[in-house]
Structure 1
Amino acid sequence: MESGPAVFAGAAFTLFGAGLLLWTSVRVRLREPVADGAEQVTAAVLGSVFGAAFLAAGIWAFTRL
């Protein structure tokens, strides 16, 4: 009964974290702004940190199955 929500949460967190890391890396590589109105370095660091955190949370949710 608990595996349904864990799979959904794991998939959502993993996809969002991977997407955020991909978005951040592509924008940094193209030297375009990562976030509108933010400094390039600050936005890249925060995007990477939160992307990795969401990815780790998704992997953690999958281990709870």
Structure 2
Amino acid sequence: MPIKPGEWLLMDDAYADQMAHRRALIASKGDLVHRISDGAFPAARELLSVTLDDPRSCTRRGIRR
């Protein structure tokens, strides 16, 4: 992995605004925001698993598996 685990998902000053925008998109266009092709699903599942398995990227956000 070119970037060390725990260093590729960082919260910065823009985080709150980005999450507000994300929530608005999901509320208004949820079917488009959550769309994924069948071919991309295995990679998306792997990315989710890697992200949730890294306690440094999840515990700061209050995410629990």
The answer to which structure, 1 or 2, has the higher relative contact order (CA under 8 A, 6+ apart) is 1
Bin of the TM-score, shorter chain as denominator length: 0.3 to 0.5
TM-score, normalised to structure 2, is: 0.33
